[in-house]
Structure formats: C-alpha cells, structure tokens
Structure 1
Amino acid sequence: MQRRHQQILERLESKGKVSVAELAQWLGVSGVTIRKDLVALEQLNRLRRAHGFALALNDLNQRIGNNVSVKEAMARSALSLLTAGDTLFIEAGSSNAHLAREIGRSGLDVTVVTPCLYVASELKNGPQEVVVLGGVLQKRSECLVGPLTRLGISSINVNKVFIGIDGYTPQQGFTGRDVMRAENIRLALEKRVENVVIAESDKFGRLFPFNVAQHADIGTVITDRLLAEEYLAVLRQHDIRVLMA
C-alpha cells in the first residue's frame, strides 16, 4: 500500500469523515489525485466515498472482511499454539476475531476471556467456555474498557494472551491508536505468560500515539509473508519468535 494511502486511512480513522479538499491540502497533492486514491481504497473495502468526502467504515463486519485469506492463515497459525485446557485472553482486532472463529470451529477445549463482544460472538456456537469482562462499551470497536474492565483483567488467571496492534517501529515497539484499549493490553501483558501479537505486515513501520508493548513483553509475532526483512531481523534480535503465515 502506498504511503499516501496509509496517511489517508490514518486521518480517516481519527476523524471519521474527511473532505477531498482537506486531504489535498494536507498531503500537498491535487484533488484529482486524492479522488483517485479514494477510488482505489474504496475498491479495497477500506473506506466509503460520499460527494466530496471520504467516510470511515463503521461496520465491524466490513473491517473483519478485509484481507480474509491472510487473516485466516494467521488465525490458523495462532490456533496451532493452543492445547486443550488453555485459558486465553483475546483482545480486540479483526485478526483476533478470525482467531476466535477458528477456535470455535476447532472444538478445542479451552476457556476464552475477552473484553470484546464480537470475539465472544464468534464462540457462541462452540463448546468453549467464554468469559466476557465488564466495562464501558466502545460502540465502534464493540469492546469494553475502563476501570471495571481493568479490574476484571487483574483478577483473572490465563496462560496465553493474544493481542492486536495498530503499529510497530523498532524504536517505539508496538503501539495503538486507542488509549483505553492500550491500557487493557498492557495490563494483560503484565501477567508475563505466553504473549502473542497477531498483525498484518502493513502494520509494521507505522507509529501511533499510545504504547502497547515493548519487545521484552512479547514472545511471538504472527504475521504474513510480506513482512519486511528489516522488521523481521529486529524482532529476532529481541528473541521474538516470528511465524509468517
């Protein structure tokens, strides 16, 4: 994906709606160029166009439906790390939704603890025990956050943690765009169990405001085969196992 396309999506994620004129001025290109960018991104199901504007996708199912084959492959790789009797913490993210779906299909005897309604929903027809943490609902992400959620995370015992991220750089580690969800993740990672990041390769090289994890917090990264060699090398230097699905 072009750097300009990533910048457009990041701007849209933070604002929800942005005009062609604003994007053109911000990025220093013509309105014609921006319109072409928006057409390309809409074809990739990354945004919706309206007259003179770009709109963020508010339908969670649409976000989960992006790059399905890649996310399914990563989910199967994550599933291979599980054994019967595990108790898992699964945080937000479309890749984690696919993991929950694979767990449900597998029939594996595990317990899943999550603050995310859509993760729980993917498991509703499976045999797994599901524990949904309380808190304040973020309607767009369908996840629970706040003091009650953090209390629940502090009170549970798990032996594996699966998280999603918004960005990674070698200097800052793993970052996110949402401060409340970042707090959930950091608290779960403090349990010092088997901590796993599931993220597509296009998240690497991007930086977001809130620190989620440092290299020492993570044992395994599951990503796709397009991960740049420079990031692969840094992760391995920090003794992080990298599984490329």
Structure 2
Amino acid sequence: MLLAEERRLRIVDWTLNDGRIDAAEAANKLGVATETVRRDLDVLQRRGILRRVHGGAIALERFAHEYTISERLNRNSDAKRRIAETAAQYIPREGCIFVDGGTTTEFLATTLRNRKDLLVVTNSVTLASKIADSSTKTHMLGGRIRPTTLSAVGAKTVEDLRQLNAVVSFIGVNGISPELGLTAYDTDEALVKHIMIENSVERIVLADNSKFGSIYPVTFGGPKDVDRLVTDLETDDSFIDRFTGSGVEVVVA
C-alpha cells in the first residue's frame, strides 16, 4: 500500500501527463476507494496543483500553458482522429468553408482533398499544405505565422477574413466550459476564430475530452455561437448535458 504522499505524487503525474484525471479510474489503478482519491484531490487543490472538476480534476498548468504542435499531436490523437472523421459528414459538397488552425481540425485534411466544388479557407499552414495540391480550391489567409501553431494571425488575416463568408466553419479550441465558453491561449488566434464563427451560417466546434473544463485567457465565443459540438466518448456527461441544455447539438464520435 502506498503512503498518502506517494499516492498523491502519482495522481499529480497522471494529471499533468493527461491534462485531467478521473477519480474512479485513479482509485482503480491505485487500489483504493474513490473517496480516498477525492480527498487527495481536495488536498492537491488546496496546494494549488490542480483544480477539482466534476468526477475528478484538471491540472492548473493548463490555464497558462500553450502546448507545442508536437505535444498537441501526441495528446489524444485517436480521439481527435475520430472526432474529425465524424465531423467530416458535415462538410458540404460545394461552397465555402472555414477551417481554423489546430491539431483536431487538421485531421480533416484527408476528407478535404479532391473536392473540386469546395473552397477551403484556412489560416493553418499545415492544413493548407495537405490539401493545396488536390482539386480542392484552397485559400490560405495572409498574415503573420505563429511558430507555436503554424497559423496565420494579425491585421492582414483579419482583413482577408472579414471579406469572406462560409456555409460552415470548423473550429478548434484550447479550452471549453459551460461557464466561460470557448477559450484560446492567444488573443490574435482567438480573434480569427471569432470572425470565422461570426461569418459562418453553421458553426461546428471540434473538441476532445481534454479540452472540457480547461480555461485559457481569451474567450472568443459562447454556447450561443455553436450549432454543433463534436467530441469523444471520454467527455464527461455533465458537460454534454449542459451544452445540450444550452441548445447545442452534441455529437459523440
């Protein structure tokens, strides 16, 4: 049997690695009662290491840390792929769509290729490079490229985007919560996401389970700005219920 502090160190390690921790799952791994883990989570919250959420906790570092592209590609990649595959059914046969920069939205690339009647407008260098050599019409927004995300941002990006309208927008998030809505780490990227939402007939948000309950500095939209939310099976039911109650159609991949 592990000592209390050894047990808490393992909980912290799991939480930092995965972004969040489920109390029941941790209890099963540790061979202790779920209530014991809940008490440990309360202790760790008082120490400022994590924040308690329904069913478990999330790491406080996620409130300020922006992961690199390689880090994000390796986080929940299977869930992100399933989300993108499910979201692909909402891509129209023709017209203009917006796809913002992000590792989840980049998984749409395969299904965006060779759609000759579709115009894809994106600020993602990575996504554009994956579809530009196909028959799909690709519009890469101008602007300054952020090294962390390889996405175009800034005055030029905003100027280009404000002149365009889309049938559907596919938007990724850094964090999402019923209280604070859709959040991003960077102000410039948040503005691009906001305008894409504003200039779209239908707004679809792609978010894996690790994004729920996470809070980042800039809010760029709320539940009223989302028509459809595509997530994965691991997302807590309480989050799904609250977004559904706000009128958002939630699709589980």
TM-score band w.r.t. shorter chain: 0.7 to 0.9
Establish whether residue 70 from structure 1 lines up as the match of residue 76 from structure 2: no
Give the equivalent residue in structure 1 for 2:162: 154
What is the correspondence of 1:108-123 to structure 2 with a 5 Å cutoff? 109-123=117-131
Distance in 2 (CA, whole Å) between partners of 1:238 and 1:111 is: 31
C-alpha change, 1:206 and 1:6, in structure 2 (3 Å) is farther
Question: Which of the residues 69, 80, 84 maps onto 2:93?
Answer: 84
Q: Which residue of 2 aligns with 1:226?
A: 234
**Which residue, out of 190, 197, 201, partners 2:198?**
190
2:137 to 106, 129, 136: 129
How many residue pairs get aligned? The number is 203
Q: How far has the Cα of 1:63 moved from its partner?
A: 3.1
Do the aligned partners of 2:171 and 2:205 also contact (CA within 8 Å) in 1?
Answer: yes
Q: Which runs of no fewer than 5 residues in structure 2 stay unpaired?
A: 1-10, 20-46, 51-65
- What SS is found at the alignment partner of 2:109? helix
Offset from partner CA, 1:22-78 (integer Å, 9 cap, x none): xxx9749xxxxxxxxxxxxxxxxxxxxxxxxxxx874x3563344332222111111
Pairwise CA distance, 1:177: 1.0
Q: Does the CA-based 8 Å contact 1:201-1:226 persist in structure 2?
A: yes
Deviations along 1:65-108, one digit per CA (max 9) or x if unpaired, are: 4433222211111110122113110001101000123322x646
More moved, 155-164 vs 108-117: 108-117
User: CA 1:8/1:27 → structure 2, altered by over 3 Å: closer, same or farther?
Assistant: farther
**Shift in CA distance, 66/9, structure 1 to aligned 2, threshold 3 Å:** closer
Could you tell me how far apart the structure 2 residues matched to 1:8 and 1:225 are? 19
Task: Return the match for 1:99 from 88, 108, 118.
Answer: 108
SS at 1:80 equivalent = helix
- Aligned position for 2:187: 179
Tell me what 1:51 maps to: none
Could you tell me how far apart the structure 2 residues matched to 1:141 and 1:63 are? 10
Report the secondary structure of 2:108's partner residue. Answer: helix
Assess, with a 3 A threshold, how the Cα gap between structure 1 residues 147 and 157 changes in structure 2: closer, same or farther: same
Check the 8 A contact 1:117/1:132 in 2, yes or no. yes
TM-score by length of 2: 0.72
Larger-Rg structure:
2
Structure with greater contact order relative to length (CA < 8 Å, sep ≥ 6): 2
Q: 1:66 to 1:109 in 2, by over 3 A?
A: farther
Residue aligned with 1:193, SS: strand
Amino acid at match of 1:146: G
Q: Distance in 2 between matches of 1:126 and 1:61?
A: 25
CA RMSD of aligned residues (A): 2.7
What letter matches 2:236 in structure 1? A
Q: Is the 8 A contact 2:169 2:196 kept in 1?
A: yes
The answer as to whether partners of 2:119 and 2:139 remain within 8 angstroms in 1 is yes
Structure 1 segments of 4+ aligned residues over 4 angstroms from their partners: 2-10
TM-score by length of 1: 0.74
Identity among equivalent pairs (%): 22
Whole-Å separation in 1 of the counterparts to 2:242 and 2:120: 31
Q: Tell me the amino acid that sits aligned with residue 165 of structure 1.
A: V
Aligned CA distance change for structure 1 residues 146 and 139 (closer, same or farther; 3 Å): same
Q: What corresponds to 2:56 in structure 1?
A: none
Q: Does 1:200 align with 2:208?
A: yes
Give the letter for the 2:84 counterpart: A
Match of 2:60 in 1: none
